[in-house]
A and B are shown apart, each in its own frame.
Chain A
């Protein structure tokens, strides 16, 4: 894996995305996650170790013995067709649901359900997890306060979130009046407003127009480049290509492969991720 993290030009709107450094640069001892990234993540090292994760819903096995590791500052794309188990895995890692068997350890922090881990994680669910009757600013303030951002830094973090979502001019409009793209951007901003060390993004670009998608990808790339570890669930290969150095392919609850993107393609003699994906998961339709 390469440690070089130069900025990548992912689209024309990258200039609109605020630099993470401006908001992360001030240390705050009362809130560890607001420490500068360079201080808390000087070097790569294991951040997440999940072993033998199994989750069943009635007779349906959503996950069957999944093992996964993630280093600090690493970006991992979780690829899989619909119903593969991506969302279940993301929710397990976020501590939202409990596995039937297996263990998850966030190195140096604890289990996913512990407050220390939750303070360091930013989770954007697949659904638009916003309060439509609250304004963009109120949504950000609520989630920031809930994640322990101190009052002294609240305004700064909210401004950062608004800038990240490019919603500064609509900060005081209700989220319910926003377009799908604007809501998606706000959804991402709510996940990062407390400056997490690791981001879990579950298909964050579903149903958005190309402009908003480009903006979202730029924003995620900026976060990654600033040192935030990333697990990015998607079934869009170009997003995985642009954002993540490592790839995990999951299907029918089983992790099929995990490794560096280019190495996996070489190993399976595939021209790209799309071909690799179809080779591993099959080309038949998944309507069932």
Chain B
């Protein structure tokens, strides 16, 4: 443990003295947040943003399908699902409302909507009525309205939207820096000296990982503090936020171990490492928001830990996810980190004779 602490302290000292590394770890994420945060101000008004409607067809009558088709061709963004899915989608803010069509002569339609969305409610009611009775002379059936309170709050500013991406960029910087530093130890000969020292392989790898984890946490804490003080970003639930940061730290510390075996020289690891991280960032929503991605790219983003990192951080800042809803991204982040760590360490030991 002492050896691990010694190595970690030394690595953190090296990081603090490396101006280029500090730029990627602290300065770049801040510049990113300042730029995109100010650009996104205009997009914060979610009332004007297009949000899909979930259609729930519980009736097998041809008329029900006709109503559903009419709504689908009315210009709304629709998708189909069960009533449970639909309520969850509205509650989490993924859908503005749901429309349920059932076999009930008196109230054949149920409209589930967040009461705060008055404008969308009026629009939807009009569209439903038009779908139910295309003939203006026909008698309109009753539409049952269900209140679905939205669990998520909306971000107050563009900075709250970009905060998770900013933190992820900081973590990506840490992962790249430490991956390169491990190869740098090899090329400079200091790794030979470490391996000749009376310390175990576990202490050596533990020290390296500890340094990376501490740097990730310290970087995230510093950036969060700056975002809170300078940009007025609020964190809805500090405990969930801490859990999200911890899971991200596990993920990117593990990823560091995998990245450091992508090449034998610093240049090779820097190239391959940043290419991998940029790909993860690109498909994971750290460059382009997931909401404007085409569906095939959005599906691909499930393979990027960046997506789950952003999802977990958003969930603990302004989305206000419940613990069981956070469990999936947190679990995926930790799982990805552990798998990457195991793969990286195995390659280091077997192929690189660590």
Binding site for B on A (CB under 8 A): 91, 94-98, 115-116, 118-119, 121, 123, 125-134, 138, 142-143, 145-148, 174, 190
Contact = CB atoms under 8 A, between A and B. Distances in A.
Interface of B: 2-3, 6-7, 10, 13-14, 17-18, 188-190, 192-199, 353
A146 B195 CA distance: 11
6 contacts: A96-B196, A118-B197, A125-B192, A127-B188, A134-B10, A142-B6
A134 B14 contact: yes
B11 to A, nearest CB: 10
B190 A130 contact: yes
Q: Is the interface of A mostly helix, strand, loop or mixed?
A: loop
Given A96-B192, A123-B192, A123-B196, 19 more contacts: A94-B192, A94-B196, A95-B196, A97-B353, A118-B197, A126-B189, A127-B192, A130-B190, A131-B190, A132-B188, A133-B14, A133-B18, A134-B10, A138-B13, A142-B6, A146-B7, A146-B194, A146-B199, A190-B193
B193 A119 contact: no
Contact of B192 (A91, A98, A116, A142): A91
Q: Is the interface of B mostly helix, strand, loop or mixed?
A: helix
Nearest to A126: B189
Contacts of A115: 198-199
A128 B192 CA distance: 11
Task: Choose among B7, B10, B188 the residue with the greatest number of A CB atoms under 10 Å from its CB.
Answer: B10
A97 B354 CA distance: 8
A32 B333 CA distance: 46
Contacts of B198: 115-116, 118-119, 146-148
A95 B193 CA distance: 11
Nearest to B190: A129
A131 B14 contact: yes
B197 A143 contact: yes
A201 B154 CA distance: 65
B205 to A, nearest CB: 15
A157 to B, nearest CB: 15
Contacts of B353: 97-98
A169 to B, nearest CB: 22
A190 B197 CA distance: 11
Task: Choose among B13, B17, B198 the residue with the greatest number of A CB atoms under 10 Å from its CB.
Answer: B198
Nearest to A174: B17
A125 B190 CA distance: 9
B10 A129 contact: no
Task: Choose among B2, B192, B196 the residue with the greatest number of A CB atoms under 10 Å from its CB.
Answer: B196
Top 3 closest A-B pairs, CB basis?
A127-B189, A129-B189, A118-B198
B13 A134 contact: yes
Contacts of A133: 13-14, 17-18
B122 to A, nearest CB: 64
